[in-house]
Structure 1
Amino acid sequence: MTSPFIRTIWLVLVLPLLSASMALAQALPTIASKTKDMQKYPGYFTFYYDRDSGKVWLEVDKVNQEFLYVNSLPSGLGSNDIGLDRGQLGGQRVVYFEKVGAKVMLVQPNLDYRAITDNKNEARAVDESFAKSILWGFKAEAVEGNSVLVDATDFLLRDAHDVIGSIKRTKQGTYKLDASRSAMYLPRTKNFPENTEFEATLTFTGGEDAGRYVYEVAPDVQALTLRQHHSFIQLPDNKYSPREADPRAGYFGISYFDYATPVNENIEQRFIARHRLHKKDPSANVSEAVKPIVYYVDNGAPEPIRTALLDGARWWNQAFEAAGYKNAFRVEVLPDGADPMDVRYNIIQWVHRSTRGWSYGASVTDPRTGEIIKGHVSLGSLRVRQDYLIAEGLLAPYEEGKPVNKTMMEMALARIRQLSAHELGHTLGIMHNYAANNNASVMDYPHPQAKLDRAGNIDLSNAYGTTIGAWDKVAVAYGYQDFPAGTDEKKALNEILAKGRAQGLQFISDRDARAPGGTHPDAHLWDNGANATDELLNVLKIRGKALQNFSQNNIKPGAPMSTLEDVLVPIYNYHRYQTEAVAKLIGGIYYTYVVRGDGQPTTTVLARGEQQKALDAMLKTISPEVLTVPEHIIKLIPPRAPGLRNNRELFARRTGLTFDPLAAAEASADFSVSFLLHPERASRLVELGARSNSLSLQDVTEQLVENTWKRKREKGMEGLVQLQTEQIVLTHLLALAHNESASYQARAIATATLKDLKSYIERRHTLNPKDSYQAHLTFALERLNRPVSEEVLPSKALDLPPGSPIGSGTVMGCE
């Protein structure tokens, strides 16, 4: 029997709510009457389109039920520098509708902080400790049973993807959304049982201060029209089993703080991102999948690109087969009429931009568990042309009277296969692996592998890998293996990683490989070879051969001779990435993502002999014979022909319209020296020199000065290059001496080196201004005597033209 007190509370608290609800229902029309003249779209969230007003009315029949909301950009701006690519995924978030009187709120709970427990009070304490986000507020306009009708038009016609912010952040102009030129895009507004898809055409106006990148791509900079997409997606069921993350496995994932975790355990929980995949028979060595993973290649990609994309993506089936799956991974062409933004399609999209740039693999992921719901690859279409350009530079293929060498197209398509596999790997949840050269993983960045044949000619027949790598099979086994019931999963996963280590495989990802002061001797971007130093010497030979052969045959008959510079740039700088790789051997420390008890080494300083070998090779890259552009090439390149723009893909210059061979040498020398005297490397060399048999910073600075300032004088262009390189060395020594991010002793050693160099210069200085060498010494002394202040900083050399990405750098991953 209910007590009088409880009855009183019920009357005080509940009756007013019921009364308000009844009053709302009586005051509002029914959904049927409100929408009787509208087009109905039944599905996950039923909605209606009013053609007269252009409005979208959303029927909210799932209150306090979580779903996934994703925004994306189906049609882009076309500028690699601004971003905003076709097919770009935006934010993804778990949300729910909450009804409060006549209001309907779209609420995003805070999943970064949770309490995974059956104790509701404990969960409530965490929920109330951290903020939620109400993303939008709607007004109830009609009601029927438990369903409420709201006007969703303003929500769908807003700048959800932050186009305005992206343009502003890149300093390309100030824009605002123009509602009068924005409307729903009905061809891509659809409904399905488990997902509701909306698309809107949005126009952004302004542009009085539009930047160069906007001018490059917009027909009218005062009106930029793009489309934005909104997806309401039913969350997966609870039959997915999250897999714990392991730093050695190389997976992206999710993390959150679980405040229900016992005090003696880690409060931060980490799980990998992966698709749901199960064997029909987990106990069988080989089994078909309950539901295979299927990807679709953009039907807008032309041939032979489309076939190359299909072929490369299908490499991953080798890894799934190695994990005991049969027909578990497929790649097909996207059916006509299918929407690439539809969550039901894993997509490999062919994206066009005005300039080459990064490709990337992203995904729609359940933030609760890490389950990948949709993989979405974006491949830049201009990258295949960059590989073709590299092949033109290496082969000089346009000899009159001879057919064009097919090797160039074969190499470019081989790169597209590898790129397709690489970016798809990110959408499987797999990180970059930069310690996997020699084709151990498609998740590394590959430089085209060239060699000299027995006749001394450049051979590109094996420029890129043709299959999935051994590491990739280990990664797929870790992420996707379906174990029989009763298996100790943690132990089984450890065994998978241990077998990979036994094969000599290792995993090192972005932070360790990208840092310019990096230290891991095996972790590099765009490198080749089992030994980085040996490969640099090989690359220099190939570069030398290509420069020796460089002629008008590097461009097609009828092409402006000034376009020879376009082909020369990637060949002259052909060694840049292998140089960067070798630099990391100097002061190099080998390490792994070791966990306690797995038997891997922690840290090992690279042997002094290996470091010295690397330093010798680095010094070779700044020698006059390597840096000097051959005379026969200089004579071939006239100023830019009319109609051809100077652009960032070309060498910087200090000579106005004419080709500047000294500027090319300046940028290349500065590139090498900047790695040798990087403040982090310099500080590390000081430390290693004190505690191990390593090269010291004194060794590096002494040999650097000995091989530049104190080497034999060259003549002609090589002499000019030599003088210029010496000033670059001085620049970096001055910078290091006054760089407060370097250690005190590194700065002290740089200062001592400068003092010794000054004494050397003073002994050779005779004040003969007509002698170019004496002028060079006078300028160096003036720089050494100049007071260093915030106003007077060491000179900065010219930059190299952009090289990365080869084949044209957070989403899940990019290349």
Structure 2
Amino acid sequence: MIDRSMMNIQSLNKLISMMFVLFLLTIETIAQTKPSPPDQASINSFTSGMKKMPGFLTLYWDEGKGKIWLEIDKLDTEILYYASLASGLGSNDIGLDRGRISPAKVVKFERSGNKLMMTEQNYSYRALTDNALEKQAVEESFAKSIHWGFEIAAGGGKAVLVDATSFLLQDAAGASAAISRTKQGNYKLDPSRSAIYLPRTKSFPKNTEIEATITLTGEQAGGYLRAVVPSTNAITLRMHHSFVELPDDGYEPRLFDPRAGINSVSFFDYASPVDQPIEKRYIRRHRLEKKNPGPAPSEVVAPIIYYVDPGTPEPIRTALMEGTRWWAEAFEAAGFLNAFEVKLLPEDADPMDIRYHLVQWVHRSTRGWSYGGGITDPRTGEIIKGKVTLGSLRVRQDYLLAQGLIADYASGKPDDKAMMDLAMARMRQLAAHEVGHTLGLPHNYIASTRGRASVMDYPHPTVHLTSQNTIDISDSYQEGIGTWDKIAINMAYSNFPDGSDELEEIDKLVKAYQREGQMFLSDQDARPVGSAHPENHLWDNGGNAVDELDKTMKIRKIVLDGFSERKIREGQPLATLEEVLVPMYMFHRYQVEAATKLIAGVDYAYILRGEKDIPFASVSAEEQKKALKSVLATLKPEALALPPNILDIIPPRPYGYGANPREVFSRTTGLVFDPLSPPEIAAHLTLGFLMHPERASRLVAQSAMDPDLPSLEHVIDQLISATWKSPEFPGYEGEIKRVVDKLVLQHLILLSVDKSASSQARATAMFKIKELQGYIADSPTSVSNGQKAHNYYCLSLIEGYEKHPEETVNILTPLPSPEGAPIGQMDQSWLEPACNHDELPFHF
């Protein structure tokens, strides 16, 4: 018994020892092992006590910690993400507008262990095929972009929970980069002064909207920035984030035709047969379905609804709603009944919510661009959100134009209703124009020569002269949608017969509008200053640019001759007359540009192989010479001189009324109005158009191909005859002539050293400078002392140019022009040495 008991005790001790060793090993193993993945935890348990916002992506708000938690239950599913600015900076120059939308991204949330990657798909390169391996080959050949990596905090089943706070408090719209790019300072995000903005954070069944207040801190603030922020050491904005369900596959993409006048999205399709183009293009348009599909008119399944910002004041708000509503007529003409509606945005609606197509009223410190854009599905071209931004100061510039043309603030006389009518007519046209962009339409700048056929042109106010030579502005802007607009909407949205070839149907529609005399040409053919088409211009009027220039110069003369202190209200500082004067004196600037394009101009259209009877030819010699004559007439001293009734009434600025340098003429006379600066500015613009290196090079080429067409030598000879070789004037007009002569020499020098011009264009300019040198040297000695000084100065410039041509370019520095584009800005950098031919922003 004892022996057996001892054995049992020994066995028990061994067992206890083994268990103890096993326990120690287990403890060591646990100590060396990382915690179990947190996705074993319950989301419900983790978020207990937080405010839950269920929706497309469910949100949890932790009030105590100021954090937003995001429940992702759509792993490996494509969704749309984009950032936008809910509150802006207020500077047109920096460009951070209220409501500005950043490019949309198709993203996936992909899990890797304890991390969740937000990965942007690369839809610029694809393979439209059912072959999965072929698709994979393309996907692996081009980079993707991971925009954020989240740490998973909890999870259950197919859903995970992540802390999205840091992601949401970033500078997602690139505000600091925009400030740096415009040289307005060096700024970065300050997390301690940034937080979630809960009133605009909501989740809906198909979209989740989250907003944050962010603060940028920095130094070296520039003038644009200082003008709009209360303190330059802290810039606070509101950043908005949108997560959106992508549209279903019920939308049918429509192929792009360059003649159809519709914007496009493009991508490379590596599944394309070798004998077919690899780049594919779809047009941009809204999804619009008929209840009864087919070409016949039908009610729609769901209308397109646009909302107007209720923060817009009256009567502008009504004008915007009326102009936007014009598009209903275009859709009805295309067979879609009750397809387009306009409403006022509900007061409790979030303007950043993707469910609302929005016309938004935006304030800035200076006048500037309006634009139309939005969010498009990059996979198909389907427009998901239309977004219009209208700058509020533009309407004041319209009113200023009307004021300069017809105002007569005589004592006791009420304001002229016609001025407000013009401004509201422009607001209706502007709303229709920008909404047109959000419907898929680009600019059509040739429409103004087809009887104002499109709201997608840039319209200069149409001004008529009555039989009594008075100004009539009652027909300044068109009312209603244009003929071209109906054509374009029909090509973009119409239902074609079942089984038909889509491109063949579009081709039929193109040929139909061509037979009607309509045409489509856009930005690339109009914006560049050296562009060649004789009818495709910005801010022009009339069917013939030269005839309209002659008419515009007559209107300008009548307005300037009648200009008086009655152009402004009683009690207003008299010096502010200059702001009204500027657009009247420069009233001809865009028509000069239009007429100049006939010189070395080429008539053409967008042509596909197989098309016949489509124009492609140089403008006739007769038309070019007629244009040259009218353009040179704008350089005459009598055309450039300000009448005495103006020079005698503009005093220096009073205390408290500093001039905005963009809205008045630059000067060399200090506080006193400079009578020579407006002629210098206007002449410099005309010469910049006429002597542009691309135009000069085309003149050389066209005369080589056809000796009957004007040559560059002919144009320069005519220019010098109209300026240098014209009779000497006394007094004020004589000084203007000398200003213009110096500018002619300047532009010849610029052309001779411009490497973007053809070698023969540069050689011709150089030769003409040498001829001019001889002409000046042989000038009569009987001229005035002012003319002798002028001749001596210019001969010295030419001598310096011959020794150091590259250095001479900057000796003459013409004064910059005030801001142009009747209701916005123009980039005049092309007039400077080492010119940069960048185009302007697309929407205006």
* TM norm. shorter chain > 0.5: yes
Equivalent position SS for 1:514: coil
* Pick aligned residue for 1:791 from 801, 807, 812: 807
Q: Which amino acid aligns with 2:382?
A: E
* Pick aligned residue for 2:243 from 232, 239, 243: 232
Equivalent position SS for 1:464: coil
Aligned residue in 2 for 1:148: 160
Aligned residue in 2 for 1:731: 746
Deviation at 1:742, TM superposition (A): 1.1
Deviation at 1:34, TM superposition (A): 0.5
CA deviation string 1:348-378 (max 9, x = no partner): 0000000000000011000110100000000
Equivalent position SS for 1:155: helix
Contact 1:765 1:777 in 2 (8 A): no
Contact 2:746 2:809 in 1 (8 A): no
Aligned residue in 1 for 2:820: 803
Equivalent position SS for 2:808: coil
Aligned residue in 1 for 2:394: 383
Contact 2:460 2:822 in 1 (8 A): no
Measure, in 2, the Cα distance between the counterparts of 1:53 and 1:640.
55
Measure, in 1, the Cα distance between the counterparts of 2:89 and 2:782.
58
Aligned residue in 2 for 1:718: 733
Contact 1:767 1:778 in 2 (8 A): no
Task: State yes or no: 1:468 paired with 2:484.
Answer: no
Task: State yes or no: 1:169 paired with 2:181.
Answer: yes
Aligned residue in 1 for 2:205: 193
Task: State yes or no: 1:334 paired with 2:345.
Answer: yes
Task: State yes or no: 1:706 paired with 2:721.
Answer: yes
Deviation at 1:646, TM superposition (A): 2.2
Based on CA coordinates, which of the two structures has the bigger radius of gyration?
2
Equivalent position SS for 1:232: strand
Aligned residue in 2 for 1:77: 89
Aligned residue in 2 for 1:518: 531
Measure, in 2, the Cα distance between the counterparts of 1:430 and 1:805.
22
Measure, in 2, the Cα distance between the counterparts of 1:796 and 1:624.
20
Contact 1:393 1:568 in 2 (8 A): yes
**Relative to structure 2, which stretch is displaced further, 756-765 or 656-665?**
756-765
Measure, in 2, the Cα distance between the counterparts of 1:261 and 1:464.
47
Q: Which amino acid aligns with 1:355?
A: T
* Pick aligned residue for 1:393 from 386, 404, 407: 404
Measure, in 1, the Cα distance between the counterparts of 2:483 and 2:469.
32
CA deviation string 1:164-222 (max 9, x = no partner): 0000000001111111111111111000000000000001112x310111111111111
Task: State yes or no: 1:617 paired with 2:630.
Answer: yes
Measure, in 2, the Cα distance between the counterparts of 1:289 and 1:772.
75
Contact 2:397 2:822 in 1 (8 A): no
Task: State yes or no: 1:404 paired with 2:415.
Answer: yes
Task: State yes or no: 1:761 paired with 2:776.
Answer: yes
Identity of aligned residues (%): 53
Contact 1:385 1:808 in 2 (8 A): no
CA deviation string 1:240-279 (max 9, x = no partner): 0101111111222211111011000000000111000111
Map 1:302-341; keep pairs closer than 5 Å: 302-341=313-352
Equivalent position SS for 2:714: helix
Measure, in 2, the Cα distance between the counterparts of 1:27 and 1:797.
69
Measure, in 1, the Cα distance between the counterparts of 2:574 and 2:822.
26
Report the number of matched residues.
792
CA deviation string 1:570-607 (max 9, x = no partner): 00000000000011000000111111123252521000
Measure, in 2, the Cα distance between the counterparts of 1:812 and 1:127.
33
Moved over 6 A (4+): 807-812
Equivalent position SS for 1:202: strand
Q: Which amino acid aligns with 2:347?
A: D
* Pick aligned residue for 1:691 from 690, 705, 712: 705
Deviation at 1:63, TM superposition (A): 0.6
Aligned residue in 2 for 1:655: 669
Measure, in 1, the Cα distance between the counterparts of 2:127 and 2:733.
69
* Pick aligned residue for 2:194 from 172, 178, 182: 182
Task: State yes or no: 1:500 paired with 2:513.
Answer: yes
Q: Unpaired segments of 5 or more residues in structure 1? A: 1-21
Map 1:349-748; keep pairs closer than 5 Å: 349-437=360-448, 438-601=451-614, 603-647=616-660, 648-692=662-706, 693-748=708-763
Task: State yes or no: 1:296 paired with 2:307.
Answer: yes
Instruction: Give the TM-score of the pair, scaled to structure 1.
Output: 0.95
Measure, in 2, the Cα distance between the counterparts of 1:179 and 1:796.
47
Measure, in 2, the Cα distance between the counterparts of 1:616 and 1:806.
29
Q: 1:812 to 1:777 in 2, by over 3 A?
A: closer
Deviation at 1:749, TM superposition (A): 1.3
Equivalent position SS for 2:227: helix
Measure, in 2, the Cα distance between the counterparts of 1:31 and 1:23.
18
Q: 1:448 to 1:811 in 2, by over 3 A?
A: closer
Aligned residue in 1 for 2:12: none
Deviation at 1:791, TM superposition (A): 3.4
Instruction: Give the TM-score of the pair, scaled to structure 2.
Output: 0.92
CA deviation string 1:401-436 (max 9, x = no partner): 322211000000000000000000000011001111
Deviation at 1:303, TM superposition (A): 0.5
Contact 2:526 2:536 in 1 (8 A): yes
**Relative to structure 2, which stretch is displaced further, 548-557 or 592-601?**
592-601
Deviation at 1:284, TM superposition (A): 5.5
Q: Which amino acid aligns with 2:754?
A: N
CA deviation string 1:81-100 (max 9, x = no partner): 00000000012100000001
Contact 1:43 1:193 in 2 (8 A): yes
Measure, in 2, the Cα distance between the counterparts of 1:617 and 1:26.
79
Q: 1:398 to 1:811 in 2, by over 3 A?
A: closer
Measure, in 1, the Cα distance between the counterparts of 2:750 and 2:805.
12
Measure, in 2, the Cα distance between the counterparts of 1:406 and 1:26.
71
Equivalent position SS for 1:731: helix
Contact 1:291 1:328 in 2 (8 A): yes
Measure, in 2, the Cα distance between the counterparts of 1:543 and 1:790.
38
Contact 2:459 2:541 in 1 (8 A): yes
